[in-house]
Amino acid sequence: MCGIFCVLNSFCNNCDNLVSQLIFEANIKNRGPDSFNFKVLSLQQSSLAFASSVLWLQGQTLSPQPIEDPESVFCYNGDIFSGLNDSIQKEKGDTHLFHSFLKEHISSDLLNGLGKLHGPYAFIFFDKTNNKLYFARDRFGRRSLLLGRNEEGDTLVLTSVAKRNTQFRFIEIPSIGVFCFDVLKNSFEVDFWPYKNKNFYTKLKELEAFLKTDISIARPASEGDCVPDDLSENANLVLLRGLKQPESLETYTIFTELLNCPTWKKNVYTLRNLLENAVQQRLAAQPEYCKSCIAEKKLCKHATTGILFSGGVDCAVLASLCDQYVDKQRPIDLLNVSFEEAKNYQSPDRVTGKDWNFVEINVTKESLDQERDRHIADLIYPLNTILDDSLGCALWFASKGQSSHYVSSARILIVGMGADELFGGYRRHRTAFKRYSWKGLQESLDDDWMNLPYRNLGRDDRAVSDHGRQLRTPYLDENVVDFVRELPSWEKTYPTNDLPEGFGEKILLRSLAYELGLRNAATLKKRALQFGSRIANPKENGKDISPRLDT
């Protein structure tokens, strides 16, 4: 994890003036506590400044940033797990390899090359030869990158994190492709990702309105309805329709029956193998030092891995898989947050998770209000809804990892983000099926998936990374996503009235939980983080602007 920053003044080549515009330095440094550097570059009629902080996670030694050579300047925030030179990545890390990759592909076939890389990233790359500034987030939007401009429009800022109430206004860069700013021509271009997403042009228009300029298109995006043409029944749908409600929640006969079916069991085992690989990759890519001991490179047996843990099926599956790959002598921190509104802090998350070794993070209303006003609202910015408020605050306190007697030493945090969008865990999926059957459910799943990069992930990255910890999301592994997205909707969720809540929705993931021996977690009802932790007021509309964020 890194914090990356670039400021470009289009009509001034005075580099000294740019240094004063690094007004987010503290927030950038929080994201990467192991290194911080600053570089300036003066052109004929403009100037640029770059800054990067580094959280060392890949390679045998830290790779300082920004990286500058005669052809380019490069700032990178990411984790590539496959697709680069795998034979030397373990030793060298991914930063220099990604830089070399961009230099090789920047002028031709960049999008197809990036499509072969697996892992989250955001980058800023300045091509000195052609005076072009490239920037992008990965196609799922798993890493934050903001674009800011001043009122005069002569200064642009790219940054992982910003602040409210400065001379700049900001927007999240949409994960629709790679953007290029031609410094000499003062013009923008975008090269769209080569896959269908009906939001591409909508997001492009929003960015054009923000910049008050047109953005040319290198090649048209593929638009269209992602609902499969073939919604005909198959053996698994026939199997599901034959299921009966269990006489009690103790019997679990539904999952036993499903796992006795070879075609259903094949899907469960495929998902298990893909998730195991995703978890293993994300656990392996880190040094053998905890947060407290890495400065001195002191070998220890403290926790290096944490799990944001609610006790629900998503994180319970991840906890079980993590247990297979973490050194048995090294603990795993299970971080669970509860806010004062819950009586004696016993939120639903806490009650259902009592069998786990929690780091119980109890937050008073006074602390919540104080930290939100002081700092968290800046991390949530430029988002500003009540839902952003409650989720951003919950994630910030949870990832802080501090209980009354313990502070987590973990440097990476495993989280279940993306599971509800992939496996159909939201109540609106049940509503869509009730109203419009399988086609309506598939459309609802597609809408949620296409909107995921624009709703949650950038904000979540900013909230968690502020503590110098890396957010890692196994459910958003490219191989997991490709497999689940190709399944008919009923093979991942079955939100019908034939089955009670806690069985039908996310039925594929629940089947995996049952197969892993997580019998209780397999039947837990969905609880959104903001309600499970008791931070949200259920009477408020999550889409409304939050008066507490003061943007």
- Report whether 488 contacts 234 (CB < 8 A): yes
Is 57 marked as binding a ligand?
Answer: no
Beta-bridged to residue 157, according to DSSP, are 7, 148
Q: In terms of C-beta distances under 8 Å and separation of at least 24 residues, what long-range contacts does 227-235 make, across chains too?
A: 227/439, 227/442, 227/443, 227/446, 228/442, 228/488, 231/438, 231/439, 231/442, 231/488, 234/488, 235/261, 235/263
The letter for the amino acid at 424 is: G
Q: Which residues lie across from 118 on neighbouring strands?
A: 82
Cis amide bond preceding 66, omega within 30: yes
Distance CA 26, CA 69 (A): 27
For residues 301 and 330, the answer to whether their CB atoms sit within 8 Å is yes
CB 419 within 8 A of CB 321: no
Alpha-carbon gap, residue 48 to 27, rounded angstroms:
20
Render 395-449 in DSSP notation, one character per residue: HHHHHHTB-SS-B---SEEE--TTHHHHHT-SHHHHHHHHHHHHHHHHHHHHHHH
- Long-range contact pairs involving 480-483 (C-beta distance under 8 Å, separation at least 24): 480/271, 480/274, 480/275, 480/278, 480/422, 481/140, 481/418, 481/422, 483/270, 483/271, 483/274
Give the integer Cα–Cα distance in Å for 131 and 153: 19
Which pair of tokens denotes residue 236?
């698994």
Give the span between the Cα atoms of 294 and 291, in whole angstroms.
6
**For residue 31, which of 145, 149, 129, 202 has the smallest C-alpha distance?**
145
Which are the contacts of 343, defined by CB distance < 8 A and separation ≥ 6?
none
300 part of the active site: no
Annotated binding residue 313: no
Contact partners, residue 479, CB within 8 Å, separation at least 6: 118, 274, 277, 278
Give me the DSSP letters along 355-376.
Answer: TS-EEEEEE-HHHHHHHIIIII
- 308 labelled ligand-binding: yes
Residues 2, 180, 290, 315: which is the catalytic one? Answer: 2
Q: Give catalytic residue positions.
A: 2
In the annotated binding site for L-glutamine, the residues are: 94
In the annotated binding site for ATP, the residues are: 308, 337
In the annotated binding site, the residues are: 94, 308, 337
